[in-house]
Amino acid sequence: MTEPNFNSSAPYNGGRLQRPADKQKYAVLSFRQVLMRHLGTMTIIATVAGALVSSAVSFGNWSLLLELHTLNYALGILTVLLAMAVYARLKDIPISPLQLAWIGYLALISLVEELAFRVFIPLALNNYLNLHISIVFSSLIFGILHYATLRWRLGACLLTVLGGIGFSRLLQETDDLALVVLVHWAVTFLNTPRPPIASARY
């Protein structure tokens, strides 16, 4: 597959997740664009929201869990990576440097999004709203940002909102941020197992 012409005036017909665009240059068609548009935006939001609630955030319990169950988390990571390798083999996805970078990106964005939308933003909103409404509102922001940064279809964004609520529920039930990040990583890989364009540079 050749590198797409992002300046092309040809329309983009859309994909399983992404909405159509009048011109290809308006679509998200490369790993580089995902990094700049999505990871960049989410990192800024996580940084700002984290700064706003820094005095109220405590990672003590989560850090203790990491120390006490380091082996379990390591086995969990290895299990997810093995499952990814098997899935990639079944789907004929080559294990290239680009694919490995994509898997690393998915791990990073999972961490950033969990910090932003399951910890920092609900905590900030909880000063004005009750916890459940804060979680729903944060998950709505989560879905809207996927609509804007990745140009996802509305249906996919609604599922993202529900997924965000589900991740919040898992965090409440387990009080284990690392576990939630691990689950998020695995689910995100199943949803987007490869970069938008297999040959794209980043």
d(CA 78, CA 108): 16
Residue 177's Cβ-side half-sphere holds a number of Cα atoms within 13 Å equal to 20
Tell me the one-letter amino acid at 48.
Answer: V
Two structure tokens written together for 150? 């990745």
Q: For 99-158, write each residue's pLDDT tens digit.
A: 999 999 999 999 999 999 999 999 999 889 999 999 999 999 999 999 999 999 999 999
For 51, counting Cβ atoms within 10 Å of its Cβ (0-12 exposed, 13-18 middle, 19+ buried), the class is exposed
pLDDT value for 99: 96
Q: Tell me if the pTM is above 0.85.
A: yes
Residue type, 34: V
Q: Say if CB 87 and CB 192 are below 8 A apart.
A: no
pLDDT of residue 201: 38
